[in-house]
Amino acid sequence: MIKRALLAFTLTVPLAGTAIAADTYTQTKYPVVLAHGMFGWDKMAGVIDYWYQVPQTLSKGGTRVYTTQVGGLESSEARGEQLLSQVQTILATSGAQKVNLIGHSHGGHSVRYVAAMIPSRVASVTTVGTPAQGSAVADLVMSVDAASPTAGTLAVGLLNSVNDLLKLLTGDKTVSNARNSLYSLSTKGSAEFTQRFPQGMPTTACGQGAAVVNGVRYYSWGSTSVRTNLLDPVDILFSITSLAFKGAPNDGMVGKCSSHVGVVIRDDYKMNHFDQVNQFFGLRDIFGTDPLPLYRQQGNRLKNAGL
């Protein structure tokens, strides 16, 4: 009971500074709930935010912001169920009638799942750098697994080990399941997910989806840069993973058109996959896109829509 009460308290206390807004530019009617992606977290070692400076940026404009944490490596449905439970806790304890959901990467599948399950309690869904139609990187690893079980087992084991290490720093108590995660993020797995939860998805390869489904507004944005800062160690990883796209525009993990859900705000910002959440500690191309104004603009967009 004590652990459950502490979880509820953690989930439902807005970030410091929310009550005293510097302005009202992002003062949405309903709270914003942020959902992380694969290998993601809420706070690492208690101090490192996954959404680096994003909650603070939104709250300074008047938004009530809640961050969440689900399994770093699991299927879309499993992660969606975990997020659904946390969203229901937020709704119950905050008194809000609805929430605005923002999901990064695999978190986009999670927020789509929640919106499909409880559409009457969700005002909007925004996906950021989400492989809604699957990722070529996941496809490549899955093909290696199919062609060589030994190599596949090694790759899956490495991913699980990385996530297990992160769990020590993030407090994630879920089981690492890289195969479920990879399948969910593959072209085939994402297509199956879309068959079950088609809301907001385009009907053409690079089109836009419906703007409103079951009363829920759908938005998305993505990017097409890979290496954006020589000081960012993650850029090296994306330089390698981007090879899976064979020259097609991508952010290192997600193809340009795959990021489309609902109203596409833009799909070619000058950021890579991790820049989209202002990581690594805000390192990015100084001539590229600053992600923080994008979240602020989206907060204002939601506010102007009465959400």
Nearest to 225 by CA among 164, 181, 269: 269
Active-site residue set: 105, 251, 273
Residue with the two structure tokens 């935010």:
49
- Cα→Cα distances 49→15, 64, 69, Å: 12, 17, 11
User: Rg (Cα) of the chain, in Å, rounded?
Assistant: 18
Q: For residue 43, how many other CB atoms are within 10 A of its CB?
A: 16
**What is the C-alpha separation between 230 and 37, in angstroms, rounded?**
24
Peptide bond into 280 cis (omega under 30): yes
What is the amino acid identity at position 37?
G
**What is the C-alpha separation between 300 and 117, in angstroms, rounded?**
26
Q: For residue 175, how many other CB atoms are within 10 A of its CB?
A: 14
Q: For residue 2, how many other CB atoms are within 10 A of its CB?
A: 6
CA 259, chain centre distance (Å): 11
Query: Could you read off the pLDDT tens digit of each residue along the chain, which spans 307 residues?
Result: 433 443 443 444 444 334 445 699 999 999 999 999 999 999 998 888 999 999 999 999 999 999 999 999 999 999 999 999 999 999 999 999 999 999 999 999 999 999 999 999 999 999 999 999 999 999 999 999 889 989 989 999 999 999 999 999 999 999 999 999 999 999 999 999 999 999 999 999 899 999 999 999 999 999 999 999 999 999 999 999 999 999 999 999 999 999 999 999 999 999 999 999 999 999 999 999 999 999 999 999 999 999 9
Backbone angles phi, psi at 86, to 5 degrees: -70, -40
Quote the DSSP letter at residue 176. P
**What is the C-alpha separation between 175 and 120, in angstroms, rounded?**
31
What is the amino acid identity at position 239?
S
Q: What angle do CA 274, 275, 280 make, to 5 degrees?
A: 75
Domain formed by 2-304, architecture: 3-Layer(aba) Sandwich (3.40)
